[in-house]
Amino acid sequence: MESIKIKESISNLQDFYILSIRGLTGIFKRPFYSKDLIEQMDYAGAGSSVIIILVSLFIGMALSLQLSAELSILGLKMYTGKVVGISVIREIGPVTTALVFTGRAGAGIASELGSMILGHQVDTLRVFGVDPIKKLVTPRILSSIIMLPVLTIIGDAVALFGGYYISVFVSHQSGTFYWSSIKDVLIFENVFSGTVKPFIFGYLIASISCYMGLSTKGGAMGLRKSTTQAVVTSIIVIIISDFILTRVLLYMLGFSV
Amino acid sequence: MIIFDNVWFNYGSHQILKDISFSVNSNERVTVLGGSGEGKTTILRLILGLVKPDSGKIFINGEDITDKTEDELRQVRMNFSIVFQEGALFDSLNVKENVAFCLREYNKTMSEDELDSKVRELLRIVGVEDAIELMIEELSGGMQRRVAIARSLAASEPKMFLYDEPTSGLDPINADNICKLILELSQKERGFIIVTHKVFDALKVADRFIFLKDGEVVFDGNKEKLVKADIPDIKLFMEELDFKISI
């Protein structure tokens, strides 16, 4: 029984690799489903923007509050802007945006594809000679790769604004100094570190969600299971890959730890 | 011609089909009967190569399709027109776009006017031309099946129709209309395979009946034999018929 489970896990992993690679390479092969891509960009990007703005605003404000409180004990309150900037641009912005994106777009992808499996719509595509990976997976992967970095930049900007609001109106610091501190941290290393991650997170979230959705079996319970698995797996993979990417990027960009 | 040769199919650890063997000519009107979870839909999916058997062979027009790739299967699938359970229509598209889906995929040079007239023609055949601009959620169950049939006709010039529970969830009038449409479409020597658990509808349209029980074929014969069959499960199915007649 155990050996069957191990075999099944290896087979699932292999299927996942095949799907995610074919989904990605599909970007460069005909036919191109541009209408589906625009639809997905609208759903995943524009549709997620409000929630990401809201979450980023409060994260920026909470971060600024915490740092102001702690740094004022040390007499270093003027560094709030700098620490908020580095934290948001390098780490908190990309990860928070990716997590919110998973909850909204990832769950949506998994449940949509899952219900298409259960409703035999994916079978219908195959019968009509349409490759479901090209038609369904590739537009979702590409839209996530495009839209998650855009959302991350928007989220970062909003979080920095939230930090500004707390620093100036609650912590009574200079707004000019806050923005000049932010300007100081907007160097290539920080910006590169924060913008590389969303591309990879977007690819991972879309691939995992598509795979889980297309693996749906067994009615409403199966759909619930695959959607939950898509979100949980994506969250875990984002957190782990964030650590690995941070380690690699710090090394590449010459930061000493 | 479809041939199932000692086909076994498992779903995880659950055995769905056990050593199934039968053959169906493309002009035959066949119904596969059986309870839920007996593997009826799996038979249709095996015919189209959507799933592969764990063992055994499936031949379509003399060709073994068991080991064919997705690209090779495309040609095999052109022989069939399938209507899945509840239609399997794309709910993000309206009726016109659902029917036009294949036409757009296969015939990129077709103009919008040609496409529109082709879609209208297909919808006229199935009797839902007026619904052309409606979204799928605006259609009744019966209309959805009709649109699904129109869409399947747009895909190819099929030699055989496959229907998965075409009348399930429909009221008797709509179910009867679908049965009539199935018979109409089966003219010109084009046969069909219907999988259903509704014996009343099956008897209206089919000449041959295959009954599945516990993944095995327990009956294969014509209407007269089916009605007289001394198999407890078939008798249970027949009770539905007796009940309808007695009313």
ipTM computed for the complex: 0.88
Backbone angles phi, psi at B58, to 5 degrees: -125, 125
Return d(Cα B145, Cα B141) in angstroms, integer: 6
Point out the residue among B50, B92, B164 whose CB comes nearest to the CB of A126: B50
Tens of pLDDT, residue by residue over B48-57, are 999 999 999 9
Write out chain B residues lying below 8 Å of A134, CB-based: none
With 0-12 / 13-18 / 19 or more C-beta atoms within 10 angstroms meaning exposed / middle / buried, residue B244 is exposed
DSSP string for A225-243: HHHHHHHHHHHHHHHHHHH
CB contact under 8 A, A120 and B48: no
Mean of the per-residue pLDDT values of chain A: 94
Tens of pLDDT, residue by residue over B64-100, are 999 999 889 988 998 898 999 888 999 989 999 999 9
The band of B234, judged by pLDDT with boundaries at 50, 70 and 90, is confident
Backbone angles phi, psi at A61, to 5 degrees: -70, -45
Contact (CB, 8 A) for A194 and A89: yes
Average pLDDT over residues B14-24: 93
- The B residues from 42 to 71 touching A (CB cutoff 8 Å) are 45, 48, 50, 70
Nearest-Cα distance to chain B for A120, in Å, is 6
Q: Are strands B29-34 and B208-213 parallel, antiparallel or unpaired?
A: parallel
* Res A59: pLDDT: 97
Tens of pLDDT, residue by residue over A93-141, are 999 999 999 999 999 999 999 999 999 999 999 998 899 999 999 999 9
Question: Does position B33 have pLDDT exceeding 80, yes or no?
Answer: yes
User: What one-character DSSP code corresponds to residue B197?
Assistant: S
pTM value?
0.89
* Res B158: pLDDT: 84
For chain A, give every domain's residue range.
34-248
Write out chain B residues lying below 8 Å of A121, CB-based: 88-90
- Determine how many CB atoms are found less than 10 A away from the CB of residue B62: 7
Q: Are strands B63-64 and B55-60 parallel, antiparallel or unpaired?
A: antiparallel
Burial B75-88 (b: 16+ CB within 10 A, else e): ebbbbbbbbbbbbb
Point out the residue among A123, A128, A131 whose CB comes nearest to the CB of B101: A128
Tens of pLDDT, residue by residue over A150-204, are 999 999 999 999 999 999 999 999 999 999 999 999 999 999 999 999 999 999 9
* Res A249: pLDDT: 94
Question: Does position A3 have pLDDT exceeding 90, yes or no?
Answer: no
Point out the residue among B50, B89, B102 whose CB comes nearest to the CB of A123: B50
Whether the link from the prior residue into A198 is cis, omega within 30° of 0, is: no
Name the 3-class secondary structure at B67.
Answer: coil
CB contact under 8 A, B105 and A124: no
Question: Does position B110 have pLDDT exceeding 90, yes or no?
Answer: no
Average pLDDT over residues B45-50: 95
Return d(Cα A63, Cα A159) in angstroms, integer: 9
Question: Does position B190 have pLDDT exceeding 90, yes or no?
Answer: no
CB contact under 8 A, B82 and A127: yes
Percentage of residues of chain A with pLDDT beyond 90: 91
Tokens of A92: 């908190």
Write out chain B residues lying below 8 Å of A127, CB-based: 48, 50, 77, 80, 82, 155
The segment with the largest mean pLDDT, out of A5-9, A210-214, B13-17, is A210-214
> For residue B133, what are the CA distances in angstroms to A81, A187, B118, B120?
56, 54, 15, 11
- The B residues from 143 to 162 touching A (CB cutoff 8 Å) are 155
Write out chain A residues lying below 8 Å of B70, CB-based: 126, 131
Write out chain B residues lying below 8 Å of A42, CB-based: none
Tens of pLDDT, residue by residue over B131-149, are 999 999 999 988 999 999 9
Whether B86 contacts chain A with CB within 8 A: yes
- Determine how many CB atoms are found less than 10 A away from the CB of residue B55: 12
Find the residue in B nearest to A131 (Cα): B70
Find the residue in B nearest to A126 (Cα): B50
Burial A122-157 (b: 16+ CB within 10 A, else e): bbbbbbbbbbbbbbbbbbbbbbbbbbbbbbbbbbbb
Question: Does position B237 have pLDDT exceeding 70, yes or no?
Answer: yes
State the amino acid at position A245 in one-letter form.
Answer: L
Find the residue in A nearest to B154 (Cα): A128
